[in-house]
Amino acid sequence: MGTLYYGDSQTPIGIEDRTLAHLKIVLVTKLRRGESFTLSWRHSDDEARGRSTIWLHPTIPLRFVFDEPERPELNAKWINELMRSANSTGGVQLIPEQLDTSPIATLPEQPVSVGADVQEVAGSKRKE
């Protein structure tokens, strides 16, 4: 579980490492541009039921702490969805990652006939 520290808040925000890594890309991009916006999320099961929203501003300190030392592989689609919400009037909505579980389209298997080709290639090599 990673942690997001915002301003002088005495209450750190616990966010799963993978989610925090994706969120970091979006927040830093917006703040680097000098943009202010909100970040909203639903409370986890171990917290009181509800949701929270914070106002993010480039002049307020922000720190990301990850439990895992290795960076996760990032999901560009999820980053784009988070960024799209960041650019809306509602601010960043911390949405769960949607994994694409649809089967990968492949070409149907074609019967391969190599007997004649192999003989031709073998015969042409002998002639050289």
Give the tens place of pLDDT for each residue, 70-104.
Answer: 999 999 999 999 999 998 888 898 888 877 655 55
Does 31 have pLDDT greater than 50? yes
Does 114 have pLDDT greater than 90? no
pLDDT band at 9 (very low <50, low <70, confident <90, very high): confident
Kindly give the pairing relationship between strand 37-42 and strand 92-93.
parallel
Supply the pTM of this predicted model. Answer: 0.72
Q: How many CA atoms lie within 13 A of 66 on its CB side?
A: 13
75 within 8 A of 65, measured Cβ to Cβ: no
DSSP 124: H
Does 24 have pLDDT greater than 90? yes
